[in-house]
Chains A and B, each alone.
Chain A
Amino acid sequence: MIEIKDLHKSYKMGSNSLHVLKGINFSVEEGELVAIMGSSGSGKSTLLNILGMLDEANSGEYTLDGVPIKDLNETKAAKYRNKFLGFVFQSFNLINYKNAMENVALPLYYQKMGRKERQEKALKYLGQVGLTEWATHLPNELSGGQKQRVAIARAMAAEPKVLLADEPTGALDSKTSYEVMDLIQKINDQGNTILVVTHEEDIAHMCKRIVHLKDGIIVKDEKVKQVRASEYV
């Protein structure tokens, strides 16, 4: 599903340049649930942003579902993001003047889906995250966990090839974190490919594979026995 070869990324900081990713080689099969771990500054978020086409690498190859991702202009990147990728952010990033259902329907709007169809689909995915009754509520009327579930429903609504989650539990307490992870595991159980960036050990162990990043290189890449989040809920 994802193929990365010798990926480099550096940021210019004034006259200095900060080498963040120093040659990443890494691949993800369909249906995997991968945790990317590392301390802050290890380059894990940068990697995820490049995977999500929110940022561009300096060199290296990136193939997503057999499509080489390179020389993207903004329009092309937007189309690929819409077609291939779903995002879940630490700070939820819901649009605050749109209610839960409208937020979930937004990526479908950019897929040029009809209004009725969009709403039906949004409601279906809201139902899957258990928030049907909250469909008409604005984000500021929802709890943190509920907001993240809306964000996950929004990411899933576009039916992406890969779901990218950047610290999805970073702003949540442990109980809510496990609820969100439970949801992510269930989505994975349905065969979806998911990448989770986290710095929390317990969250990482709820995935099936952990990739450790340190100072811009992969130091460890191991398959782990998945801990079901439902055990804690």
Chain B
Amino acid sequence: MHVQTMHIPDGFINGPVSLVAMVIAALGIVICLRGARKQLDERTAPMAGLVAVFIFAMQMLNFPVAAGTSGHLLGGALAAILVGPYAGALAVSVVILVQGLLFADGGLSAIGLNIINMGLVTAVVGWFVFRWTIRAIGVSKPKVFFAAFLAGLIAVPVSSLAFVLEYAIGGTGTIGWPTVMVAMTGVHILIGIGEGLITALTVAAVFLARPDLVYGVRDLLPKQVLVVEPAKGVA
């Protein structure tokens, strides 16, 4: 039977820390709204919409990672690579809002925590891992696949560390945070492998169809209209 995917519920993290997280998440969203306004245009906006819908759907598909444990896509790395870090973080934040408000997935008081961990952190980490990697190794089909895999793989355990930090400051559990950290990181490295695969397959599919629609490689593609002479003159 299907059990709901579970984001942080009400009650894991105390009120004050949850409230501070909500303020930070709101600030983050404002920054992302401004950034996305700069980075999006009329051609890329529908892609951002699609990415949000796609991540919502994929988050429903929990995959097994170890005996009696499952994981699901977080999506921030995928979103950031395809539509840029600002619009990407916004896309995941909208997913978390709809999940919390419509499907009671994730506590309402924990919505700030969930937006920080799954929206902001994964988008930022995924973006930088992808960009650093692709700049170091160059752009080609297998290299884009590899860089996207790495971005998803790393974003998930870092996201779980954000939870550990929140737990260390305001966790209601009695078990110490170092124990929680070991357990969270371990299982989320496994989930990261699934995240990396879904991220890489999706980014590669878009890259094959329209490389210019992959925001993370757009500025690295060979220009279609080359104006060679003036460039030589300048050099």
Do chains A and B interact in one complex? Answer: no
Chain B residues at the A interface, C-beta cutoff of 8 Å: none
